[in-house]
Amino acid sequence: MKLDSQKIEPMVRSLISRLAENGHEALVVGGAVRDLLLGITPKDYDIATSATPEEVRKVFGRQSRIIGRRFRLVHVMLGGHLFEVSTFRRRPSIEERTTREGDDGVMIWSDNEYGTRDEDAVRRDFTVNAMYYDPLKDEIIDTVGGLADIQARVVRMIGEPEVRLAEDPVRLLRALKLVGLFGFTLEPELAAAIRKLAPSIALSSKSRCFEELLKILAKPSAASTFAVCQEYGVLDHFWPNLATGWNSPAGRLMRNLLQLRDERVAAGVYSKSQTLGLATLALAFVGPSLRQGDENPGPLWSTSREASLRCREALRIFFEPYPVPKFLQIRTREVLMLMPSFFQAEPQHHVVSHPQYRYARELFHHLAKLQGWDIGQFAHWPEASPESARRSNHEGEAGARDGGGGNRRRHRGGRNRHHGPKPAGGQPQ
Ligand code: ATP
Ligand code: MG
């Protein structure tokens, strides 16, 4: 099996060459190799290397920065692209895990033991995510049977599914994401382990689960991924509110809205918008409570301050138990509170110039379509100007951690820095 090396971001080759010139092995790994083999241009690149973080820093100097405690890696900035470069690691042995203070030996919470490339492959989650690509030699390195599984479109856990899921229950979501995204099937033992261990997802730290939720929303397959989570009984434990409402009228509306949003993401209308994703999930569930007390209810809620306060509270309850960062809470509320404006006869400047206008308009159009409203009657509301579209798109693309705008693309590498669930009573990750 070959991959199309033309699809690789050129900076990846420069980064790897510079490490190689300094005597270090360095390879593309993980989702980027998987995507390239599927003919998809990767959005980000995971780079794995034999160099320690300090050695990587020596090569790239001020273009690099060591980050993370539980999973130390290096951010390297090249040609305006940010890459995360991580050192080959091995799976900590059971002795190492059990002798750590407070560790029950099942869940991995730290992953800083360096190892060889082949050890690095087996500590990864699925065979399709554990292949390496050397862009200098145009060579794929597959020690776990990933190529065969990609061809068969199968998600297969490396090692014992139950053990590896118990080590890190976020892997449950990661497996289901591959099913939702690519239509892969789960290897039967993995499928059975997921059903059995579905409740364990609730043991993972809320911040890691929320990060996964945002990653699900970043793909054009959010509706199918949530559907697969529901099918395997994982949604009940991952996001109980969504699971409870799944088959209600609001749940059906939510799924249809998400499907329309996914089609637009797939068409490349916008790359990632966390805000629009969260507002799309919330609209159908939160909408009814925004109308409470409206004397003359129109098709949507009023834009009053009271409605906005109710919206804040309703969103908080809907997203429980997740700690939605404040900037995303505010933007999600803004999208919902802009929506009734589209019934005004004249476009209002403060609405059209609002940073969330583009997303409010988008969501409103999806809702209008599903409700059978005549879209023509809203045609006087312009599409956002290209400039504001670009601005709000970048806001949407920024990671939840920094919350900032910025127009750098992030190429993230070896991502296990959040490895392992939060131990009971431990530090949030
Ligand atoms: P994408 O970035 O397209 O969502 P990905 O597979 O690259 O998918 P990342 O979160 O970027 O996902 O992780 C990079 C790689 O790190 C994975 O491909 C996998 O090899 C490894 N990895 C990530 N999370 C885990 C985990 N929880 N357990 C084991 N390996 C993991
Ligand atoms: Mg990745």
Give phi and psi for 155, each to the nearest 5.
-95, 115
**Separation in Å, CA 338 to CA 26, 292, 352, 360:** 48, 17, 10, 6
| 140/286 same-domain check | no
Mean pLDDT, contiguous 10-residue spans, the chain (429 residues) = 89 97 97 96 93 96 91 92 94 65 54 87 97 96 98 98 96 97 98 98 93 94 97 97 96 98 90 89 91 75 86 95 94 95 88 92 95 88 62 43 36 40 29
Nearest atom in ligand 1 to 215's CA: 4
- Which residue's alpha carbon is at the smallest distance from atom 3 of ligand 1? 31
- Within 8 A by CB and 6+ apart from 385, the residues are none
Q: Are residues 130 and 272 located together in one domain of the fold?
A: no
Beta strands in 24-142 (DSSP E): 26-29, 46-49, 64-67, 73-78, 81-87, 132-134, 139-141
* Shared-domain flag, residues 119 and 263: no
Among 160, 190, 216, residue at a domain's last position: 160
Give the residue from 126, 160, 194 where a domain finishes.
Answer: 160
State whether the beta carbon of 415 lies less than 6 angstroms from ligand 1. yes
Take atom 15 of ligand 1 and give the residue whose Cα is closest: 30
Whether 206 is in a domain gets the answer no
On whether both 139 and 270 belong to a single domain, the answer is no
* Euclidean distance between CA atoms 236 and 93, whole angstroms: 32
285 in any annotated domain: yes
Same domain for 108 and 257, yes or no, is no
- Ligand 1 atom nearest residue 129's Cα: 18
- Tokens 């395997």 identify what position? 232
Residue 115 lies in a domain: yes
Is 411 among the domain residues? no
Nearest CA to ligand 1 atom 21: 124
Structurally, how many domains does the chain consist of?
2
Q: Is there a single domain that holds both residue 268 and residue 156?
A: no
Q: What local confidence, expressed as pLDDT, does residue 95 receive?
A: 66
Domain identity same for 127 and 267: no
User: Is residue 130 located within the same domain as residue 25?
Assistant: yes
Atom of ligand 1 nearest to the CA of 30: 18
DSSP 281: H
Substitution candidate for ligand 1 out of 49, 125, 200, 225 with most atoms within 8 A of CB = 125
Domain limits at 56? 1-160
129 shares a domain with 5: yes
Same domain membership, residue 18 and residue 154: yes
Q: What is the CA radius of gyration of the chain?
A: 23
Probe ligand 1: pick from 37, 41, 124, max atoms within 8 Å of CB? 124
pLDDT of residue 413: 42
- 125 CB under 6 A from ligand 1? yes
420 belongs to a structural domain: no
Residue 176 confidence (pLDDT): 98
Residue 204 is assigned to a structural domain of this protein: no
pLDDT of residue 125: 97
* CA distance to 171, 202, 239, 327, per residue, from 321 (Å): 19, 10, 8, 17
Global pTM?
A: 0.86
Q: What's 31's domain CATH number? A: 3.30.460.10
**Are the CB atoms for 394 and 27 separated by under 8 Å?**
no
In the reported structure, the alpha carbon of residue 414 is separated from the centroid of ligand 2 by a whole-number distance in angstroms of 7
Residue ending a domain, choose from 136, 160, 184: 160
Ligand 1, atom 1: nearest CA belongs to which residue?
A: 31
**Minimum-distance ligand 1 atom for the alpha carbon of 32:** 7
User: 35 alpha carbon to ligand 2 midpoint, in Å?
Assistant: 9
Best mutation site among 415, 418, 422 for ligand 1 pocket (most ligand atoms within 8 Å of CB):
415
| Amino acid at residue number 129 | N
Is 370 inside any structural domain? Answer: yes
Helices 170-182 and 188-197, interaxial angle, to 10°? 130
| Ligand 1 proximity of 129 Cβ (cutoff 6 Å) | yes
Q: Looking at the structure, do residues 269 and 148 belong to the same domain, yes or no?
A: no
